[in-house]
Structure formats: C-alpha cells, structure tokens
Structure 1
Amino acid sequence: MSIPNVTLNNGVQMPALGFGVFQTPPEQTITAVGAALSTGYRHIDTAAAYGNEREVGEAVRRSGLARDEVFLETKVWITDYGYDETLHAFDKSAGKLGVEQIDLLILHQALPGEFELTTQAYKALEKLLADGRVRAIGVSNFMPGHLDRLFARTEIVPAVNQIEVHPYFRQPEVLQYDSANGILNQAWSPIGGITFYRDGSEGSTLEDPVIRGIASAHGRTPAQVMLRWHLQQGRQAIPKSVTPSRITENFDVFGFELTTEELAAIDALDTGVRGGPEPAAITRENFGAEIPEA
C-alpha cells in the first residue's frame, strides 16, 4: 500500500501520513524507523531537540531506499534562533541526517518575548529555501498571533504548522487560520499519546467510548479511527511508536471512511485542555537546550 500525497503551498508533494520519533531514545530509533520504512511510511519527522537525527539518517541509509523516496522533516530548536545561528543549525541537522538537502525544515516554537530572533531564524529558512538546501519551510506550535507577526516581517508563507491536535484538543481557531492562509495543518500527538483529562478525570482518547464505538462499527482500532479523522479533515498526521504491530496498525488507515456524523462526534470530544507546553510561555530561559554540533 502506498500513502497518498498532499501538496504544500509551494507545490512540493509530501506523504499524507508520516512517522514521528519524538521521545524515541536514539538506541531505539534505528529499529523503529526501519520498521516504519519497511511498512511503507515515506515521511519521517524528527527534530534537533529530539537527539535522534543521526539515527534517523542511519535508518534511512540501511533501508536501501533512494534518498528521493523518503521525505525528511526536522526542526530548529529555539537555542539556535537568529539568522546565522539558524543557518548553522541547518548544517548541524543535515550533517547528522547525512543529507545535503532537507525536505522540510521548520521552527520548533515561537519565542514570543524575543520575536526578532524568531523572525531572523525564519529569514534564514527563506535563504535556505532560495538556495535549494531545503525544499519547503514551516513552523511548529505557532498561534495565529505569532503568524500575524511573522507575516509582517517575512516574505514566504509557511508550508506547514505542526501543532498539537487530537480529539481532546482540537485547536479549531488555529486550524481555521492556517487553512485560510494556505498553511497545511500537521498534527503532532494525533492520537493523544499523552494522558489527558476529560470530565475532570484522567483518561485516554484510546479508551474513549465514542471513539471505541466508531472503531467497533468499522472493525477498526481507536487509533486507526483517530488517524482517519485527521486525514479526512485535511490534516497531515505523524503518529509515533516503537512497537512494530502498532507501526503497522497506524499505517493501515486508507481502507475505510468515517461518516459526516462520526467526524462531528469526534469533534465534539474537544476539552480545550492542552497536553504540551503553552506556546505563550516558551522562553530560552525555561526551555533552552544546547544542540550539540555532532
């Protein structure tokens, strides 16, 4: 089975479903990415801050796939923001991945209190795009206000905005803003992999009775239903796992379709409770981490 592509706002084609390696230890990354590529995934999402770019690159090389068959995405961490610093961040990431060109390079967070650094980092991405060293550029965890500020200072609209989206935290205002501006919404934690709170109690989207009921009606798993929900609503999703059976399960989401009523029922589960850090609270003092050269 091959994954259909989505077209970014600069015409670049990207698989509609990717494979993520957030919090995957380096020693497990080669095996997990290898399993994903064997299953049929052709988009791998990593980040400088994950500490496993080198292992992602090694897994791609071991797969035997041609470089142009695998779409590689990575992220610049806030410690490396600034024009020259971000150009160097590309060199660090490309060196660890073992590639000359990165398919999609994005800024990992906005720095609201030091937005000039964010702006200069994005201008460096524009330079890398113009030079052909990356094929597309974007952002992650940017809210509409951050994007408004970015648009006023830069030339190129981001191709993607990678944000937390799952049934318990939908961020509809961000989704609508991005779509209206030609930015593809890319969902991290697409099946709510963190433990979330619903109705005042601790719980998981995987155990939600609404999602389980829809899954049962289709002979599918809750994870497959949630990934299908993203795809049918026009989002790209990047599930992660280190378990081969789950990697295969998450890939098998193209042989069924949810009804309009089922999509609406999943939408209605939104609690508005964020699982990741609050974008407005990101500072280098609180979240800074040095990204090693090698």
Structure 2
Amino acid sequence: MTFSLNNHVDIPGIGFGVFQASPKDTKAAVATALEVGYRHIDTAASYGNEREVGEAIAESAPSASVTSCPSTLIDSWLKPPSCLQDKNTELGILTQAWPPIGGITFYRVGELPSTLDNEVVKNTALEFGKTPAQVMLRWHLQRGRYTIPKSTTPARIKENVEIFDFLLNDAHLQQLDALDTGVRGGPNPANITMATFGFSIPEA
C-alpha cells in the first residue's frame, strides 16, 4: 500500500522509525526491517543514529531500494489528528501518524494511559487474531495516515508490517476514532525552543 504525495511521488504506507533507538541497536534493527519488507526509513540527525541507518542500508541487498523522508509529511502529534488531517488534506499534505501506536504513552509512564491497554483496541485485536499494535497501524492506514512504527525487537519489527491481511469495517473504524480525546500526546509546539529542547548534534 502506498500514498501519493503532492509532488506525484509514491511513498510506502508504512515506514520504519528509529527515534530513541540507540546507535548499537539501530543497524541490526534497520537490517531486519529491510529484510522483512520495509522500504522507508524515518530518521534525523538529532536521533544520533543516522550513521548506523546508512550502514544498514548500504549493506542490504541491492533490491532494497529505500526512500528518504520528504518534507511534505507532518507529524500528527502537533494537533488533534482529525483537525490536523482535514487541514493537511485541504493543502495536499500527507499526514504522518507519529507515534502511530501511542509510543509517547510508553515514554511518559504514569502521565497517559497506554493505547495498547485500551479495551476497544484489545477487543478488536482479539476479533482479528492480531495484536493491539497491528490494529492501531491498520486503523491509521485506512484513515489515510502514513505510519512509522519503531522497534528494535525483530519479532515486533516483522509483526508491525504484517497488517495487510485484514480489514477493519466502518464500525471498527468509528469505535477507534471515538477514542480521540483531543489531548496532545507530545509537547506543545509553543514550548519547543532551543532552551527547552536544544542540544548539539556531533555529526551535523
């Protein structure tokens, strides 16, 4: 499954994220991702693991043609997803679901409930014989959002891309849509300054 960008370039519907992956884990994780079928790697200099991403790509099979992250994507944690996505669609911008399975709830333990523990998500997963993470990823795709799940665990890397053999119906989608509280998971953009989030990037 692919999405078309406003420059007429197609991008895979699911990519592989490496945010907060340590350099020592990144190369093996990216190699696994390429092996199981990912063809888009989302990275940034600020992650501190671009070198390892590049090494994994360089050493992969020649058939593993990998795309880079274009500037026409906007992360969905900046505003409540539905509001942001409607505006993006109006402007011809593809919305990126980040973090697509509620990873921000794992990093900030105790502040937000884990998406993967939600009863609606878990019950839907049981119905299809899938994991809660797979249900969340499938929901994003069917709602027109590009996803970049991150993991350094080989089994989960493979599991996260195995979401094309089931289809959520309208009732499932509406139940999952209804879980949107309108509360931002990430920091308020107004508070993102060099003083609060700035740090040096050795290889920049």
Flag whether TM exceeds 0.5 (same fold): yes
Deviations 1:198-225, CA, capped at 9 Å, x for gaps: xx98521111110111111111111111
Secondary structure of 1:194's counterpart equals helix
- Structure 1's consecutive aligned runs of 4 or more residues displaced over 4 angstroms after TM superposition are none
Q: Which residue of 2 aligns with 1:160?
A: 73
Offset of residue 176 of structure 1: 0.7
Offset of residue 293 of structure 1: 3.2
User: CA RMSD for the aligned pairs?
Assistant: 1.9
Cα 1:212–1:293 shift into 2, 3 Å: closer
Looking at structure 2, the residues matched to 194 and 162 of structure 1 have their Cα atoms a distance apart, in angstroms, of: 13
Out of 38, 46, 57, the residue aligned to residue 41 of structure 1 is 38
Q: Which residue of 2 aligns with 1:233?
A: 143
Q: Which residue of 1 aligns with 2:194?
A: 284
Out of 147, 165, 173, the residue aligned to residue 255 of structure 1 is 165
Structure 1 window deviating more from structure 2 (13-22 vs 280-289): it is: 280-289
Secondary structure of 1:195's counterpart equals helix
Looking at structure 2, the residues matched to 293 and 213 of structure 1 have their Cα atoms a distance apart, in angstroms, of: 45
Deviations 1:235-283, CA, capped at 9 Å, x for gaps: 1000000001101110000111101111110111112232221111111
Q: Where does structure 2 lack aligned partners over 5 or more consecutive residues? A: none
Deviations 1:50-84, CA, capped at 9 Å, x for gaps: 011111000001112357x11122xxxxxxxxxxx
Out of 28, 44, 51, the residue aligned to residue 25 of structure 2 is 28
The answer to whether structure 1 residue 217 and structure 2 residue 130 are counterparts is no
Q: Which residue of 1 aligns with 2:11?
A: 14
- Counting aligned pairs with the same residue, the percent is 53
8 Å Cα contact 2:80-2:184 kept in structure 1: no
Looking at structure 2, the residues matched to 202 and 275 of structure 1 have their Cα atoms a distance apart, in angstroms, of: 8
Out of 243, 266, 276, the residue aligned to residue 153 of structure 2 is 243
Out of 68, 91, 96, the residue aligned to residue 72 of structure 1 is 68
Looking at structure 2, the residues matched to 279 and 22 of structure 1 have their Cα atoms a distance apart, in angstroms, of: 18
Q: Of the two structures, which has the highest relative contact order with CA contacts closer than 8 Å and spacing of 6 or more?
A: 2
Q: Which residue of 2 aligns with 1:194?
A: 104
Question: TM-score, structure 1 length as denominator?
Answer: 0.65
Looking at structure 2, the residues matched to 277 and 31 of structure 1 have their Cα atoms a distance apart, in angstroms, of: 30
Q: Where does structure 1 lack aligned partners over 5 or more consecutive residues? A: 74-103, 105-137, 139-158
1:71-110 mapped onto 2 (5 Å cutoff): 71-73=67-69, 104=70
Q: Which amino acid aligns with 1:253?
A: I
Q: Which amino acid aligns with 1:160?
A: L
* Number of residues of Structure 1 aligned to a counterpart in Structure 2: 201
Looking at structure 2, the residues matched to 271 and 188 of structure 1 have their Cα atoms a distance apart, in angstroms, of: 16
Q: Which has the larger radius of gyration?
A: 1
Q: Which amino acid aligns with 1:266?
A: L
More strand by share: 1
8 Å Cα contact 1:164-1:190 kept in structure 2: no
Looking at structure 1, the residues matched to 19 and 100 of structure 2 have their Cα atoms a distance apart, in angstroms, of: 12
The answer to whether structure 1 residue 184 and structure 2 residue 97 are counterparts is no
Looking at structure 2, the residues matched to 164 and 50 of structure 1 have their Cα atoms a distance apart, in angstroms, of: 18
